[in-house]
Amino acid sequence: MSVSAIPDNAPAAADSASPPPGDGLRRTMRSRHLVMIAMGGVIGSGLFLSSGFTVSQAGPLGAVLAYLVGAFVVWLVMACLGELAVTYPVSGAFHVYATRAIGPATGFATAWLYWLTWAVALGSEFTACGLLMQRWFPGVSVWIWCMVFAAVVFGVNAFSARVFGETEYWFSLVKVIAVVALIVLGGAALAGFHPLSPSGSHPFLLANFHTPDGLFPNGFSGVLVTVLAAFYAFSGSELIGVAAGETENPAEAVPKALRVTVVRLLIFFVGAITVIAASIPYDEVGLDESPFVTVFSSIGIPYAADAMNFVIITALLSAGNSGLYSCARMLFSLAQEKQAPQALRRLSRRGIPLTALSLSMLGGLASLVSSVAAPETVYLVLVSIAGFAAVGVWMSIVAAQFFHRRAFVRAGGDPGSLPYRTPFYPVVPVLAFVLCLASLIGIALDPAQATALYFGVPFVAGCYLYYWLRHGRRRTGVATS
């Protein structure tokens, strides 16, 4: 391991198909693993549980439009991420991109924002799993299930990257099957084929889109708030960048995974929200029941509630699995750049950063405890920062790609020589940054989400201040080999 003296703003055209850098991590994952890791990070309780609330706020058409905008922004961000991930195929790479292209303080803040996002999510996901298990095992305390699920997720991550990738593949497959079933069976029912429907009737095609209060029953403000929520719903797709450093032949696997992921997310999210909005009147859908259960029950699918309970638990475990992986790689990468204790660089014989993994799990369990011990103080702060961080990390990615390409061209590089390049530069990164920034500004207009700014902005400022006090404002090299 060495520290490069190359300036941060002078990215090299790395050979992304070369052997892994001397960090000990192993390239054992393939394109199909990357796709499912990204799908696992995105398709979760937000789609299975909260999509009904989205429809109730924006109305049927507004919800579909919001998810279309969200999918478009995901494509913009993924297009930028692809160029960076192929050029710099290192594990836990978001902050490496920002460090090289923007500055080390920005990279430091990006890393801790992303680590905190998933560390907070771990505790809430384990808690939710425990609560859902009460349906079948009401006599077993929730905290026991939390410990069981935490041990399972930790064990999967501690064994090997290949085992993690394979487990996440099957976890995500369960969720994908549930979404496909909703789209196919719900779509068939909307087309008039619903022989098992208990009531014998079902809404036809998009009849529910015509509401008594117009196409946007809660006005355009309801759609705007839903657009902001849709941005957060799509967060997790960037996990492809985290896993690039442990992927076989990143130059081929990463671009393929990005393309497939964006197309599938567009089909699954927009398809699912369209079926839900068309099947359930917007004023009858909410948070009291998963809209998946409501749709499946309305068309007569047996044991819909139990089946979806299993799927939602799988979804939460999948997100926790991806989240712990991401947390550990982010800490490992920080230690590589000497921005975190060097103990976090220690690897097991299988190439797993166990110290970073253990610390991340402790962070997740701490957020779990805080959600019970101080629900109105500590946990609220952490969750608010996590929501703010999702869009903040996207902004860091697209800004890094913009400055990366500009510096590459100024240094005499030919964009055509890049293994993968962001299309329509600079329109794509600039448009993505503006839309993400607009979503953060829009948060201030929604009292329910404004808390994210109150805690998120000071947290980012604190990261910058700590870095400058500890390391000064000089630019430093980054670990490259």
Instruction: Please compute, for residue 462, the number of CA atoms within 13 A of its CA located in the half-sphere on the CB side.
Output: 9
Q: What is the pLDDT of residues 111-128, one digit of tens each?
A: 888 887 777 777 777 877
Q: What is the pLDDT of residues 185-223, one digit of tens each?
A: 888 888 887 777 776 667 777 777 777 776 777 777 777
Phi then psi for residue 36, to 5 deg, are: -70, -30
Cβ atoms 215, 61 nearer than 8 A:
yes
- Which pLDDT tens digit goes with each residue over 43-69? 766 677 667 777 777 778 888 888 888
Classify residue 5: in a domain, yes or no: no
CATH code of 62's domain: 1.20.1740.10
The identity of residue 468, as a single letter, is W
The answer, yes or no, to whether residue 152 has pLDDT greater than 70, is: yes
pLDDT at residue number 366: 72
Task: Give a yes or no: residue 16 inside a domain.
Answer: no
Domain that includes residue 379, residue range: 31-471
Look at residue 59 and tell me if it is in a domain.
Answer: yes
Tokens of 339: 């921005």
Residue 20: inside a domain:
no
Closest CA to 389 of 178, 238, 199: 238
Rounded-to-integer distance, Cα 150 and Cα 309, Å? 19
415-452 tens-digit pLDDT: 888 888 888 989 999 999 998 888 887 777 767 667 77
Q: What is the pLDDT of residues 319-329, one digit of tens each?
A: 788 788 888 88
The Cα–Cα gap between 232 and 192 comes to 34
- Whether 401 has a pLDDT exceeding 70, the answer reads yes
| Site of tokens 């998933």 | 118
DSSP string, 308-331: HHHHHHHHHHHHHHHHHHHHHHHH
The distance of Cα 104 from the centroid of its chain, to the nearest Å, equals 23
Give dist(CA 111, CA 223) in Å, integer: 31
Is it the case that residue 1 has pLDDT exceeding 70? Answer: no
- The H-or-E segment that residue 346 falls in is none
DSSP 3-state percent helix, strand, coil across the chain (nearest 5): 70, 0, 30
Joined together, the tokens standing for residue 132 give 């859902």
Q: Which residue has the higher pLDDT, 284 or 20?
A: 284
pLDDT of residue 310: 86
Q: How much is the pLDDT for 244? A: 56
Say how far apart CA 197 and CA 404 lie, in whole Å. 56
Alpha-carbon dihedral 238, 244, 246, 250, rounded to 10 degrees: 150
**Whole-angstrom distance, CA of residue 430 vs CA of residue 371:** 38
> Is 7 inside a domain boundary?
no
Question: Which pair of tokens denotes residue 386?
Answer: 């996590």
| Block residue for tokens 């109305």 | 59
| Nearest alpha-carbon partner for 394 in 84, 21, 33 | 84
Angle separating helix axes 104-133 and 354-373, nearest 10 degrees: 60
Residue 18 lies in a domain: no
167's CB contacts (< 8 A; 6+ apart) are 156, 321
Backbone angles phi, psi at 90, to 5 degrees: -120, 150
Report CA-CA distances (Å) from 231 to 82, 259, 443: 19, 19, 12
2 pLDDT more than 60: no
Residue 13 falls within a domain, yes or no? no
> What average pLDDT does the chain have?
75
pLDDT at position 317, please? 84
pLDDT tens, 269-288? 888 888 888 888 877 776 55
Amino acid, single-letter form, for residue 381: V
Helix axes 291-298, 271-279, angle to 10 degrees: 60
The model's confidence at residue 91, banded by pLDDT at 50, 70 and 90, is low
- What pTM does this model have? 0.77
* Paired tokens of 23: 């960090």
**How many domains is the chain built from?**
1
Half-sphere exposure of 86 (CA within 13 A, CB side): 21
- Domain presence at residue 386: yes
